[in-house]
Amino acid sequence: MLPAQQGYDRAITVFSPDGRLYQVEYAIETVRRGTIAVGIKSKEGIVIAVEEKPRKLQITDVAQKIFQIDDHIGVAAAGYIPDARSQVDNARFFSQSNKMIYDEAVEVETIAKHLADQSQQYTQYAGVRPYGVALILGGVVNNNTQLYLTDPSGTYISYDAIAIGSGSDQVTDFLEKTYNHELSIEDASVLASAAIYLSSEDREGTSHIRMAQIKTKTETFELVSDEQIAKYAKTAKEKYPHEKK
Q: How far is the CB of 169 from its own copies (least distance, A)?
A: 11
- Nearer CB in complex with its own copies: 223/231: 223
Alpha-carbon gap, residue 9 to 161, rounded angstroms: 33
What is the nearest approach in angstroms of its own copies to the Cβ of residue 244?
26
CA distances 226 to 56, 175, 209, Å, are 16, 23, 8
Q: Closer CB to its own copies, residue 125 or residue 238?
A: 125
Burial of residue 59 (number of CB atoms within 10 Å: 0-12, 13-18, 19+): exposed
8 A C-beta contact, residue 211 and residue 192: yes
Residue 20 vs 217, nearer CB to its own copies: 20
d(CA 198, CA 167): 8
Residues 162, 39: Cα–Cα separation, whole Å:
5
Q: Cβ closer to its own copies: 157 or 238?
A: 157
In whole angstroms, the minimum distance from the beta carbon of 146 to its own copies comes to 9
Least separation in angstroms between residue 157's CB and its own copies is: 6
